[in-house]
């Protein structure tokens, strides 16, 4: 048994999780319940009790950081006896180690290389070129995402069964076959191969599987709710003999289905592993009682969950604030005012704004820059520094001012117009000699037939468009907002993003829509460009403390004193796309995301929504998120917007107020009900 000094800091459930060493164990670890402490102490206990040698323990994490932290913590408990933990690491690092030992079984040499995303993209581009596949219509990143999905499901190319109606899958499968063969020819594998190859080797070689499953007397897995199919299969194969597999996780924090994670691995654990012991870690050491009560009440609306009740020994704390604002701008002002009020109590570093989608940061950035409030974007790039925003601004700058060489250089071949680096270099040299700007020099080089034919066609097309857009602006008096929309359409920039089917490009389109909304706040192009220049010059790296901004997905595993959760409106959160694509399971994942957001807070939570939002160039009438209805009133402190006068209520206009037989009412009726509560 562990010495009392190791046990004294553990609560009853934690002690049980550490000392239970016979058979499968599922630890349902609520937010802030000390799961890392339990895992590391459990490893120490196994070694201390001589249940296994360090090299007989397989401990799997999702990140190198988590693996390193685990190693450090075990070493603190055990000292030198922790040095033999040779099988502690990420899924990919451990599988790479196994694969090097048995590479010939999948036609590789043991010195194979692991290629990164850039190498993968380059390889796919080469294949597409050879197969006459237009990468403008089918983006390499999208192809790789589908291939990765198949690998996560455990399929080699010859095992994939495609949906014949899906034109993309029909096109991608032959690419997958060529891609996989190329990897073998290059003695290489990608990250997906590391686990897939090892699983296939273990499946085909019973003797080998027996050796490893016999050797690994204990298996421990962190963040089990984030595992995909192939990872869970790998674990099943390695735990065949001893069945001492311990998985730790929280089904209420499963928010990565878009990355291939399957929550059913967690929910069905006791069905896969017979005689499973389930231990719940329900004591939260992070958040106040009121925050936990709100979070628990919200997540209780999910049907697909193991279930637990979080409790805390901490004080009740402040009520969770719920603020309603007239519009998005007022919301940004309200939040900045709140930060100004609390900055004497909480450091900026401990204050965080969590958004559902990254485009939402724009409104806050604008406000913070205006009042000089320092901030950082974690896991993302500041709004006006995002590539697609810089591209749009560069187009506008060039139309406004022909001598803007930096803008010219940025967009002349964006989207691709067959104007390569050598052509641009030649234009630069000519411009230097002629003492002219790049645009004028380009026109003169075309006149003098100094540009290669293919590049000449692309350059002429680009310059004609620039002239046309200047005419739209100066002669036709087109608005600056309409001008950007025209540029995006006629340049092919919008089509480029729309055709590249992946999440990154969807986010870029969202950001451009947000930019169009922002532009409407300015009278003309000049004032908007001045604003951008000012914003980017002010937007320097502040020394010292900064307010954090990030997405809820990026916040997983982090904690802060104060959390702001803005934009809780239908369509935005829960996100419309998630519900449209995945139905009920999509809604439940969005609710888990809300739960993650709430439980990042240690002392203070402020949830907010606005009645109107300027979105995609138009004012839209917003409805409060359905999640707000699920927050218990007794733990909430609402702002003055919730106490409207009878006169205001009577003036409210319905839209399409029809009550149907099922009792489900129209948006107008629902909005009205919310206002009279």
Active site (catalytic) residues: 35-36, 222-223, 253, 600
As given in the structure block, the two tokens for residue 577 are 């796309």
C-alpha to C-alpha distance for 253 and 259, rounded to whole angstroms:
14
Cα separations in angstroms, 95 against 156, 189, 193, 414, 604 = 17, 12, 9, 40, 42
Q: What is the four-CA torsion angle of 568, 571, 576, 578, rounded to 10 degrees? A: 0
Strand partners for 60 = 89, 221
What is the C-alpha R_g of the chain?
29
Helix (H) and strand (E) counts for the chain? Answer: 29, 18
Per-residue H/E/C for 287-346: CCHHHHHHHHHHHCCCCCCCCCCCEECCCCCCCEEEEEEEEHHHHHHHHHHHHHHHCCCC
As given in the structure block, the two tokens for residue 66 are 């988590």
Residue 608 CB coordination number (10 Å): 24
Q: What is the four-CA torsion angle of 3, 4, 6, 11, rounded to 10 degrees? A: 140
Residue 227's Cβ-side half-sphere holds a number of Cα atoms within 13 Å equal to: 29
Q: Which helix (H) or strand (E) holds 377?
A: strand 375-377
301: left (phi over 0), alpha (psi -120 to 50) or beta: alpha
C-alpha to C-alpha distance for 602 and 558, rounded to whole angstroms:
11
Three-state DSSP class for residue 558: coil
C-alpha to C-alpha distance for 77 and 371, rounded to whole angstroms:
49
CB 614 within 8 A of CB 517: yes
Pairing of β 601-615 and β 618-621: antiparallel
C-alpha to C-alpha distance for 24 and 237, rounded to whole angstroms:
14
C-alpha to C-alpha distance for 127 and 130, rounded to whole angstroms:
5
Strand partners for 61 = 90
Give the helix ranges, DSSP H, for 103-166: 117-130, 140-152
C-alpha to C-alpha distance for 121 and 128, rounded to whole angstroms:
10
**The residue to which tokens 């036709």 are assigned:** 476
CB 614 within 8 A of CB 328: yes
Chain-centroid distance of CA 134 in Å reads 28
Burial (Cβ within 10 Å: 0-12, 13-18, ≥19) of residue 425: exposed
Strand partners for 352 = 548, 563
Closest CA to 405 of 459, 441, 444: 441
Q: Distance between the two ends of the chain, CA-based, in angstroms? A: 58
CB 411 within 8 A of CB 395: yes
**Rounded to 5 degrees, what are φ and ψ at 282?**
-110, 0
C-alpha to C-alpha distance for 410 and 389, rounded to whole angstroms:
12
C-alpha to C-alpha distance for 206 and 339, rounded to whole angstroms:
61
């Amino acid at each position: 048994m562990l010495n009392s000094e190791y046990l004294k800091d553990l609560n009853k459930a934690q002690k049980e999780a550490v000392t239970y060493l016979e058979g499968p164990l599922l630890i349902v670890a609520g937010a802030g319940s000390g799961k890392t402490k339990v895992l590391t102490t459990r490893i120490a206990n196994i070694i201390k009790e001589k249940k296994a040698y360090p090299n007989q323990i397989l401990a799997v994490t999702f990140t190198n950081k988590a693996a390193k932290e685990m190693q450090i913590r075990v070493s603190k408990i055990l000292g030198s006896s922790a040095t033999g933990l040779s099988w502690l690491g990420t899924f990919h690092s451990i599988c790479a180690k196994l694969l090097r030992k048995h590479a010939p079984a999948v036609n590789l040499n043991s010195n194979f290389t692991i290629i990164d995303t850039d190498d993968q993209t380059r390889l796919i581009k080469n294949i597409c070129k050879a197969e006459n596949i237009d990468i403008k219509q089918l983006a390499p990143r999208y192809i790789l995402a589908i291939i990765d999905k198949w690998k996560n499901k455990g399929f080699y190319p010859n095992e994939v069964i495609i949906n014949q109606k899906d034109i993309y899958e029909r096109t991608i499968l032959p690419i997958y076959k060529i891609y996989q063969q190329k990897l073998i020819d290059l003695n290489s594998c990608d990250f997906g191969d590391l686990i897939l190859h090892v699983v296939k080797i273990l499946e085909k070689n019973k003797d080998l599987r027996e050796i490893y499953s016999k050797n690994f007397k204990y298996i421990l897995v962190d963040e089990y709710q984030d595992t995909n199919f192939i990872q869970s299969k790998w674990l099943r194969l390695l735990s065949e003999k001893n069945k001492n597999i311990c998985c730790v996780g929280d089904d209420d924090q499963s928010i990565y289905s878009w990355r291939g994670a399957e929550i059913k691995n967690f929910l069905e654990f006791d069905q896969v592993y017979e005689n499973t012991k389930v231990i719940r870690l329900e004591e939260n050491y992070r958040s106040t009682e009121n925050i936990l009560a709100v979070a628990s009440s919200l997540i209780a609306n999910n049907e697909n969950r193991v279930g637990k009740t979080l409790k805390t020994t901490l004080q009740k704390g402040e009520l969770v604030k719920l603020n309603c604002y007239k519009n998005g701008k007022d919301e940004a002002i309200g939040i900045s005012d709140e930060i100004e009020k609390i900055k004497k109590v909480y450091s900026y570093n401990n204050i965080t704004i969590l958004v559902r989608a990254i485009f939402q940061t724009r409104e806050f950035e604008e406000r913070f820059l205006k009042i000089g409030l320092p901030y950082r974007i974690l896991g993302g790039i500041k709004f006006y520094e995002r590539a697609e925003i810089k591209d749009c601004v560069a187009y506008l700058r060039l139309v406004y001012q022909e001598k803007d060489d930096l803008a010219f250089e940025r967009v002349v071949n964006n989207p691709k117009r067959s104007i390569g680096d050598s052509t641009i270099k030649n234009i630069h040299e000519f411009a230097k000699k002629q003492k002219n700007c790049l645009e004028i020099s380009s026109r003169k080089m075309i006149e003098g037939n100094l540009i290669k034919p293919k590049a000449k066609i692309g350059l002429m097309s680009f310059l004609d468009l620039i002239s046309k857009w200047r005419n739209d602006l100066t002669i036709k008096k087109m608005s600056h907002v309409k001008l950007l929309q025209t540029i995006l359409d006629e340049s092919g920039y919008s089509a480029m993003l729309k055709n590249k089917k992946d999440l990154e490009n969807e986010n870029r389109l969202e950001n451009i829509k947000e930019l169009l909304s922002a532009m409407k706040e300015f009278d003309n192009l000049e004032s908007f460009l001045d604003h951008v220049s000012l914003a980017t010059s002010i937007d320097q790296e502040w020394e010292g403390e900064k307010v954090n901004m990030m997405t809820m997905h990026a916040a997983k595993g982090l904690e802060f004193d104060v959390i702001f959760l803005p934009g809780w409106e239908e369509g935005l959160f829960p996100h419309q796309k998630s519900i449209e694509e995945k139905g009920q399971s999509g809604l439940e994942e969005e609710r888990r995301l809300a739960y993650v957001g709430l439980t990042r807070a240690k002392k203070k939570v402020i949830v907010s929504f606005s009645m109107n939002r300027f979105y995609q160039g138009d004012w839209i009438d917003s409805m409060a998120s359905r999640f707000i209805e699920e927050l218990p009133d007794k733990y909430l402190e609402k702002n003055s917007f919730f106490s409207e006068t009878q006169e205001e209520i009577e003036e409210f206009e319905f839209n399409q107020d029809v009550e149907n037989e099922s009792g489900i009412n129209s948006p107008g009726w629902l909005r009205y009900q919310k206002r009279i509560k």
